[in-house]
Chains A and B, each alone.
Chain A
């Protein structure tokens, strides 16, 4: 009744090509953004910012990046934490060696460096496919782990191999409070999400999807696999590199190579599988599921006053989390984004389903 597009006529191509052609969607997204930008900074507690919202935003950005590659272009990668670490260490070294550099510039440069590295490790994708490619991307993971742990220059010869960053200053705006970090992350994530949305419906995104659906057919209709696959690796690594730099600078503040180990790569992959492959919205759902849910589950027994020991509570949280993953994948193998889409379909017919 409320969510219905009756009477919304698209009288020009421009209107038909709009990012959100349905008015209700537009209003919903605008309201959500307004809420996130204007209301949340005053409502949420420091804990909510630092432990849930900020890591969620950064991981959502990384998941969007991985989704561009895996969900849209069909090239599986289980080495994306490596590209995050490239972004983080690139930003660290840029800020260290060029002190006058603004963090925003360093962020973009770090993303570009990650993109170049990602393209290098994407070259095998031209020859191998599917699971074999996935195994080849593992090389990136191990190589980067090794590089940042062993080559001291990258960590500025820190004796412990752990690097730490100073408080960020963006054109005089000091990111020292949890809310300011949140606002900065939200702005970055909004911009990059908008870019990704537009990218996947443009000619590059269509080329990626054609390659994903059938690379031989795509080649026949004039899409160059080299170009499509390498751009997918580059753009994806760029996103992930930016996310890595944010993870290091805004969330962790001090990190070691272990912060970007294979567990993180797998978590990223789980995010897009649970959230929905080939869906930008799904990346956000998936990131929330993987990042925030374990933290929330961990606190449920204590909040309910259940007398569980710390170890038991932690085990129970892991079990419930695992069960939820299985549950959601059985209910909807295409991920949470598909559930969201189904929900919207139903809402269209409500309250008079056929």
Chain B
């Protein structure tokens, strides 16, 4: 090694050491009277088109609560983002990094990734931090007796799959008409995409339709084989369970294959603007589920514009993003976390709360039509009420269609059939408890 190369090398080594010591000492900083909201986000990588609007909506709502109300009953909200890239190992690292921050530790985690949810489900009980997985995560975590710390508020993939089957049955004119029909599930080959399969299989057996399972490998840009199969098999309906670039690729492939988009139904994670815009006008007629938040603006968006964007504090790079499907869903997710804290404050006092106290707030969570209206979310979500044994609180969704430039809600509210779902939840949760050697608690 020559001498010239030596000094930059030493500098690099010294720099690394300095960085390590900084990183190690950072959590020790003193904190004020604040409630700390950790944010696991993905603003880079193949899932960024969907991760960015969600994260922006989440952050903007927290900013709004600080700017408009001065925090939650006077307790300011502090938050910090950590980039996961939708990668489980990085998500776990982010969780470890953020769980102890703030004067009382992390309030609640919302990883927006089913893979990360699976990993955190094991860690949350030890660290006493609740997880909200609104519309994703483990479907069996509805069972609060086994999954004490998980809250799949508002819906799970089993609800989504059930509602889609109900919807196509309605189109066909009844469940008995589904006999002999063929439904293809094009899914992301990960825990996320595989979640709906048990329910669809059960429904297939009940009504006698054929279920065609077509997995797509991460990240989902290569789907020609999948769509070749669809061309050969000609399913009557296609359910799309994709995320990130996989959605837009699937819609483009469907257009290229000549599959009628009117017969294609996406789950609620396959029904946002970034999914359909790449296919542009051709995507017209494509349908997707909508739960919690459709696109559009309401009273709360006016507030966001007034209190956050007008002051130049907005998170989104482009104001147009405010009111997009995923932006709104991020806002609703943040709102539910904030309301859970507010709820828990009634019991524990108006001060920064620990994750364990917030968990109580989530387990006794209730948001009525009137409150939704008061918060400015009218039309953006259904009422939710949780209990010790039911951590989901609601299982309703609607169907929306893309008209080439906008999403329109096209159906009434569907309720998933708990008679069908409940037994699978109980079975799956019991299996989990056995595997992890958990003794389920008894709910009153």
Contacts and interface: CB of A to CB of B under 8 A. Distances in A.
Contacts of B191: 160-162, 256
B416 interface: no
Contact of B115 (A162, A302, A309, A332): A162
Nearest to A332: B1
Grouping DSSP codes into helix (H, G, I), strand (E, B) and loop, the A interface class, with mixed when no group exceeds half, is: helix
Contact of B19 (A47, A164, A256, A296): A296
B275 interface: no
Interface in A2-30: none
Main SS at interface, chain B:
helix
Contacts of A51: 92-93, 96-97
Chain B interface size, under 10 / 10 to 19 / 20 to 34 / 35 or more? 35 or more
A46 B197 CA distance: 37
Given A51-B96, A315-B44, A327-B12, A258 B83 contact: no
Contact of B22 (A45, A156, A303): A303
Contacts of B319: none
B310 interface: no
Interface string B169-194: 00000000000000000000111101
A309 B43 contact: yes
A254 B119 contact: yes
Interface in B204-232: 215, 218
A167 B218 CA distance: 30
B122 A254 contact: yes
A315 B83 CA distance: 10
Given A259-B89, A327-B8, A252 B119 contact: yes
A299 B121 contact: no
B435 A166 contact: yes
Contacts of B432: 164
A26 to B, nearest CB: 25
A198 interface: no
B26 interface: yes
A279 B183 CA distance: 55
A71 B55 CA distance: 44
Given A159-B198, A161-B191, A310-B83, A296 B20 contact: yes
Contacts of A256: 88, 115, 118, 190-191
Contact of A166 (B8, B100, B437): B437
Interface of A: 45-48, 50-51, 55, 96, 149, 156, 159-162, 164-167, 176, 252-256, 258-259, 261, 292-293, 295-300, 302-304, 309-311, 313-315, 324, 327, 331-332, 339, 342
Nearest 5 Cβ contacts at the A-B interface? A311-B43, A160-B191, A303-B22, A314-B83, A253-B122
